[in-house]
Amino acid sequence: MVGKLTIQDIARLAGVSKATVSRVLNAKPDVDPATRERILQIMQEQGFVPNVAASSLAGGRSRLIGVVIPPLTWPLITEILRGVSEVVEQSSYELLLYSVAHDLGDYEKNKGTVIDRILASHLASGLLAVYPGSSIPHLTKLYDQGFPVVIIDDRETPTHVPWVSADNQTGAAAATRYLLQLGHRRIAFIQGPLEYEVSLKRYQGFCEALKEAGLTPDPELVQQGNFMAKSGLPGAKQFFTMEKRPTAIFAGNDQMAYDVLEDAEAHGVRIPGDISLIGFDDIPSSAYTRPALTSVRQPFYEMGRRATELLLSQLDAPRPVPTSYYPAILPLAMQNTSANYLQLPTELIVRASCTSPR
């Protein structure tokens, strides 16, 4: 085990007081450069790592950032988390992971409580909320009270809490336009849960493009799913058994597009031969389906990165000098302070699941 070094020890070795060591640890400006160097040197040599518990207790700030995420079954969470952890790793912070619940019902129910507990335990000094859904008002209150919060979401509720999202509507419109350009007129849509703004945004983008082309969305061609695996199956079956089938299906996310793929096989429908298919999210496995799925890529990784940088910039705002014992925070984080609201563009990834209708 690593030796249990304290500030005390470093102070003794450097011939200074504990206070001075603490100062260089926290990058306070008023320390003699030479002394600072010497202390940093010794800390390096001895492999000193400050006791986080003690410093949060004493300082009230905890070098931990909490991440509240929906169930890890959503593949996209992985990508977001990857972006998050990559940035966190470069900083002096650590990641506290709160996976809220395992099904949608619980998720919505528990989120408020969980957030309260996170705060009350005084563990995290900042919060990154991924798709917080209904707790946005709660998070807003928090933020207004001075607690650093960043949201990754297509915000459901107007809020001034810093957020990062993807431009779902534009992305959906682009996908729909692509199908229209291929010549499709009967385009079906499988919607996500209506409680989520994302679902609406995508639907709006879909309608927007349709209207541009002089078409009206046909209610019969809109089915409901919930973004989870298997939830697109009923909708798919619906479309496949219709008298006048759609020539293309736009699934609200890739998971549900997979369901269409699966059900197509069962119904002897060839994709894209008989019906074209397009998804949303472009999760990694979509490159490997047969046919490979054309999809709208959300920049999850990038969203994770940017959101974390935003959060760090909030946390570090009071810190005047970046010359710390800890690795420097990425410069990007510093630049971000001006832009608290980021809507990142999506990208249409064209693969093999769409053709012109026969």
Partner DNA sequence: CTGTTAGCGCATTCAG
Partner DNA sequence: CTGAATGCGCTAACAG
Give the residues lining the site for DNA (CB under 7 A).
Answer: 4, 6-8, 15-20, 22-23, 25-26, 29-33, 35-36, 50-51, 54-55, 57-61
Position 354 contacts a second copy (CB under 8 A): no
Residue 26 near which of DNA, a second copy, none (CB within 5-8 Å, type-dependent): DNA
Q: How far apart are CA 55 and CA 35, in angstroms?
A: 22
Strands 187-191 and 163-166: unpaired
Residue 284 near which of a second copy, DNA, none (CB within 5-8 Å, type-dependent): a second copy
Convert residues 31-70 into a mask of x (bound to a second copy by CB under 8 A) and - (unbound): ----------------xxxxxxxx-xx----x-x------
Residues 322-351 that bind a second copy (CB under 8 A): none
Position 123 contacts a second copy (CB under 8 A): yes
Q: CA triplet 91, 94, 100: central angle to 5 degrees?
A: 135
Residue 289 near which of a second copy, DNA, none (CB within 5-8 Å, type-dependent): a second copy
Residue type at 9? D
101 alpha-carbon distance from chain centroid: 17
* Residues 6 or more apart whose Cβ sits within 8 Å of residue 349: 282, 286, 294, 295, 296, 297
Residue 5 or 222: which CB sits closer to DNA? 5
Position 230 contacts a second copy (CB under 8 A): no
Residue 33 near which of a second copy, DNA, none (CB within 5-8 Å, type-dependent): DNA
> Which residues are paired to 343 by β-bridges?
165
> Which residues are paired to 151 by β-bridges?
129, 163
Residue 176 or 314: which CB sits closer to DNA? 314
Residue 73 near which of a second copy, DNA, none (CB within 5-8 Å, type-dependent): a second copy
* Residues 6 or more apart whose Cβ sits within 8 Å of residue 158: none
Three-state secondary structure call for residue 298: coil
Residue 125 corresponds to which tokens in the numbers above?
A: 């000094």
Q: Name the one range near a second copy by CB under 8 A: 113-121, 168-176, 191-199, 212-220.
A: 113-121
Position 109 contacts a second copy (CB under 8 A): no
Cα distances (Å, whole numbers) of residue 328 to 27, 151, 259, 332, 335:
11, 24, 45, 11, 14
Cα distances (Å, whole numbers) of residue 297 to 207, 278, 287:
19, 11, 11
Position 8 contacts a second copy (CB under 8 A): no
Candidates 61, 22, 89, 83; CA nearest to 327 is 89
Position 142 contacts a second copy (CB under 8 A): yes
Residue 16 near which of DNA, a second copy, none (CB within 5-8 Å, type-dependent): DNA
The distance of closest approach from Cβ of residue 101 to a second copy in the complex, given in angstroms and rounded to an integer, is 8
The distance of closest approach from Cβ of residue 121 to a second copy in the complex, given in angstroms and rounded to an integer, is 5
Candidates 78, 120, 5; CA nearest to 300 is 78
Q: Report which secondary-structure segment, H or E, holds 93.
A: none
Residue 20 near which of a second copy, DNA, none (CB within 5-8 Å, type-dependent): DNA
| Residue recorded with tokens 């009071």 | 318
Residue 291 near which of DNA, a second copy, none (CB within 5-8 Å, type-dependent): a second copy
Position 137 contacts a second copy (CB under 8 A): no
Among 224, 291, 324, 344, binds a second copy (CB under 8 A): 291
Among 284, 320, 327, 345, binds a second copy (CB under 8 A): 284
- The strand order across the sheet containing 347-349 reads 222-224, 187-191, 248-251, 276-281, 294-297, 347-349
Judged by the rule CB under 8 A, the positions of this chain that interact with a second copy are 1-2, 4-5, 47-54, 56-57, 62, 64, 71-73, 75, 77-79, 81-82, 85-86, 89, 94-99, 102, 116-117, 119-123, 141-142, 145, 147, 229, 258, 261-262, 283-285, 287-291
